[in-house]
Amino acid sequence: MLFQTTQDHEALRAKLRAFAEREIKPVAFTLDQGNQFPDEAVKKLGEMGLMGIPYPAEYGGAGLDMLSYAIAVEELARVDAGAGVILSAHVSLGSWPIFAYGTQEQKRKYLVPLARGEKIGAFGLTEPNAGSDAGGTETTAVDRGDHYVLNGGKIFITNAPKADTYVVFAVTTPDIGTRGISAFIVEKGWKGFEFGDHYDKMGIRSSTTAELIFNDVKVPKENLLGREGDGFKIAMATLDGGRIGIAAQALGIAQGAYESAVEYAKERVQFGKPIGFQQAISFKLADMATKLRCARLLVYSAADLKERHEPYGMESAMAKQYASDIALEVTNDALQIYGGTGYLKGMDVERMYRDAKITTIYEGTNEIQRVVIASHILGKAPKSEGGSSSRPKKPAPVTGVRKKILFKGDAQESVDALVQALKKDGYDFTVGIPADTPIPQAERVVSAGKGIGPQKNMKLIEALAHAAGAAIGSSRPVAETLKYVSLDRYVGMSGQKFTGNLYIACGISGATQHLKGIKDASTIVAINKNGNAPIFKNCDYGIVGDVNEVLPLLAEALGTGKKQSAPPMVKMKRPQPPRAEPIGPRYICGGCGYEYIPELGDEDAEIAPGTLFEKLPEDWVCPECAEGKHQFIRA
């Protein structure tokens, strides 16, 4: 046993390397700077039959093994990490679930064009409240007979919006945790399926990453992947394999940085000889090479196990965790060897240094990889407490209790109804505060989100702010990326907190960090064209509509004339937050007064939290005085 790749593997590597050096390397810096997707290169990869490496020829694949696939990702990432992840997300995440769980019909319809590289695939699992913990999934799919209706959203989705085919996870049975999640194949272009932010990332900038938004998207019954409730299982199995792709990507990034550093160390002369021959640098290179070899053996071995249908979950986690950890170390050392030169834009090690970081984060953070590995060593923890996977929960809106009165339909009628409601709540629109009142001191704020569109539309915000007697605020991207307003005007957990009375959010979708910044507002008004935007679950009044239409109407209705100077703010009343409903009655011991609380259970007697009193074993006794169950009375 030589732990070596075959000649075929090395031939494939040579082919990929030549392609990457020729087609991608010359533009890698441009793609990075411009946040551009390498459309040309991806198209050519498809033509070369490399977008479906591990899938059988009958489904349009190359019929090669997992190791070949890992080598392909590695070689692309060696030149451009973004290209590596495009392939990895397409093959491992977008295509594999269909290959493994799809019906013949689904494979023919979706896998074949994916494997041929005619279509690009992506995988939609992550949500704002469901990252490492899929049990927090909030996207829903409601059974409507011959189709499901999909509502919700996904964030951080690799290959979106370029991808054509999406495997999306949604809750079909609420309140039973991960067992209620199902997987669906969703096509780009379906009504109600839109894309949100294209993220401005630190690295892997040639890959595209965006938000998925589902607004009453009709998904035909035949696009359910596997059975209802299989979603979590499918997601976990997919990620087991996906880790090999990311491990290969991390390995490739590190390999690229290492080779670049070796070359530079041989060229750069200081103190009369190439720095590579200074011990400080030579030892670095030795360590880098050793780490690379370790990582490569881990990655290839995991791929080989998967190919041979041996258990590989732990090994792929080890490979992903180790390869990405050392990718950070190796790229860091490479940049260090370059010295000041490596710190400049345009140097490949500078890009690789940034690119490497994502590999310890996505497709399971390295902390989660260690959880996976430890669970293989130790088995399941003896008692499970908390955790959304094991217990259902109903998350409260970030902004607490809100009226959530939505006005739909005719814009003028909606605006009139809103103004009437606000006046009834006691808002006086004959008075106002200056538009530049600092957010924390403002009684009212009109805020702009990215949905406001081009900068000229800020005129609408200014007019509305005047009419509402409010100061002007914004979401973070509007201040930070678009620079429509100064940085001290963006509202959110990391920005300014609004604690006044009236907050009017225009074109703001309602990211959690933004919502946390307005949770003390007495009244939240949302105006957004996406009826499923989180802001509507967090508002008192909402108008679903286009800001271009609604804002001028609203300004007109509130009064565009001169405003009197507002008196000192009187904070308006907020409703009480609801109490958590008990899961069952408490019982009190007649021997000592001990109270059995089902939410807590009885740890010492190995009674899990959440156990109802009726469900306690017959021989359970009071933990304080040892009286039997019959001595308890209901509280």
Partner 1 sequence: MYCVREVTKDLYWVGANDHRTTLFENIHPIPRGVSYNAYLLLDEQSVLFDTVDWSACRQLLENLEHLLGERALDCLVINHMEPDHGASIEELLRRYPNLKLIATEKAFMLMRQFGFHVDGHELVEVKEGDTCTFGGHTVTFIAAPMVHWPEAMLTFDRANGALFSADAFGSFIALDGKLFNDEVAFDRDWLDEARRYFTNIVGKYGPHVQKLLGKAAGILDQIKFVCPLHGPVWRSDLGYLIDKYDKWSRYAPEEQGVMIAYASMYGNTEAAAQALAARLCEKGCTKVAVYDVSNTHVSYLISEAFKYSHIVLASVTYNLGIYPVMHNFLADMKALNLQNRTFALVENGSWACKSGDLMQKFIDEEMKNMTVLNERLSMASSLHADKAVELDTLADAIMDSMRT
Closest approach of partner 1 to the CB of residue 570, in Å: 6
Closest approach of partner 1 to the CB of residue 635, in Å: 5
* CA–CA distance, 110 with 62 (Å, rounded to integer): 16
List, in sequence order, every residue forming a beta bridge with 291; answer none if it has no partner.
none
Given a contact cutoff of 8 angstroms between Cβ atoms, the answer to whether 530 and 194 are in contact is: yes
352: tokens are: 């690789």
Closest approach of partner 1 to the CB of residue 572, in Å: 9
What's the chain's Rg over C-alpha atoms? 28
Q: Regarding beta strands 431-432 and 564-565, do their DSSP bridges make them parallel or antiparallel, or are they unpaired?
A: parallel
Closest approach of partner 1 to the CB of residue 593, in Å: 5
If the CB atoms of residues 142 and 597 are measured against partner 1, the closer one turns out to be 597
Which uninterrupted H or E stretch holds 479? helix 476-480
Dihedrals φ, ψ of 184, to 5°? -135, 150
Number of neighbours of residue 621 by Cβ within 10 angstroms? 17
If the CB atoms of residues 314 and 589 are measured against partner 1, the closer one turns out to be 589
Q: Regarding beta strands 165-171 and 181-187, do their DSSP bridges make them parallel or antiparallel, or are they unpaired?
A: antiparallel
**Chain centroid offset of residue 522 CA:** 30
Q: Give alpha helix (H) positions in 194-278.
A: 231-267
Residue (of 498, 427, 497) closest to 469 by Cα position: 427
Closest approach of partner 1 to the CB of residue 620, in Å: 18
If the CB atoms of residues 382 and 578 are measured against partner 1, the closer one turns out to be 578
Residues that bind partner 1 in the complex, under the rule CB under 8 A: 568, 570-571, 573-574, 576, 579, 588-593, 625, 631, 633-635
**Chain centroid offset of residue 10 CA:** 36
Closest approach of partner 1 to the CB of residue 582, in Å: 9
- Check whether the bond before 161 is cis (ω within 30° of 0): yes
Q: Regarding beta strands 632-634 and 209-220, do their DSSP bridges make them parallel or antiparallel, or are they unpaired?
A: unpaired
Per annotation, catalytic residue among 363, 385, 599, 603: 363
* Type of residue at 548: N
If the CB atoms of residues 434 and 591 are measured against partner 1, the closer one turns out to be 591
End-to-end CA gap in the chain: 70
* CA–CA distance, 634 with 630 (Å, rounded to integer): 11
If the CB atoms of residues 453 and 590 are measured against partner 1, the closer one turns out to be 590
If the CB atoms of residues 373 and 569 are measured against partner 1, the closer one turns out to be 569
DSSP string, 509-573: ---HHHHHTTTT-SEEEEEES-TT-GGGGG-SEEEES-HHHHHHHHHHHH--S--EEPPSP-PPP
* CA–CA distance, 581 with 578 (Å, rounded to integer): 9
**SS3 category, 187:** strand
If the CB atoms of residues 189 and 568 are measured against partner 1, the closer one turns out to be 568
User: Tokens 């940034």 label which residue?
Assistant: 354
If the CB atoms of residues 390 and 631 are measured against partner 1, the closer one turns out to be 631
Residue 424: exposure state from Cβ atoms within 10 A (0-12, 13-18, ≥19): exposed
* CA–CA distance, 332 with 349 (Å, rounded to integer): 9
Closest approach of partner 1 to the CB of residue 567, in Å: 10
Number of alpha helices (DSSP H) and beta strands (DSSP E) in the chain: 18, 21
* CA–CA distance, 609 with 612 (Å, rounded to integer): 9
278: tokens are: 């200074």
If the CB atoms of residues 462 and 520 are measured against partner 1, the closer one turns out to be 520
Closest approach of partner 1 to the CB of residue 598, in Å: 14
Q: Regarding beta strands 181-187 and 140-143, do their DSSP bridges make them parallel or antiparallel, or are they unpaired?
A: unpaired
Residue 176: exposure state from Cβ atoms within 10 A (0-12, 13-18, ≥19): middle
Catalytic residue check, 363: yes
For the chain, the maximum distance between any two Cα atoms, rounded to a whole number of angstroms, is: 90
Closest approach of partner 1 to the CB of residue 592, in Å: 6
* CA–CA distance, 374 with 384 (Å, rounded to integer): 15
* CA–CA distance, 229 with 176 (Å, rounded to integer): 10
List, in sequence order, every residue forming a beta bridge with 490; answer none if it has no partner.
474
Closest approach of partner 1 to the CB of residue 481, in Å: 35
Closest approach of partner 1 to the CB of residue 493, in Å: 18
Given a contact cutoff of 8 angstroms between Cβ atoms, the answer to whether 219 and 152 are in contact is: no
Closest approach of partner 1 to the CB of residue 576, in Å: 6
Name the residues annotated as catalytic: 363
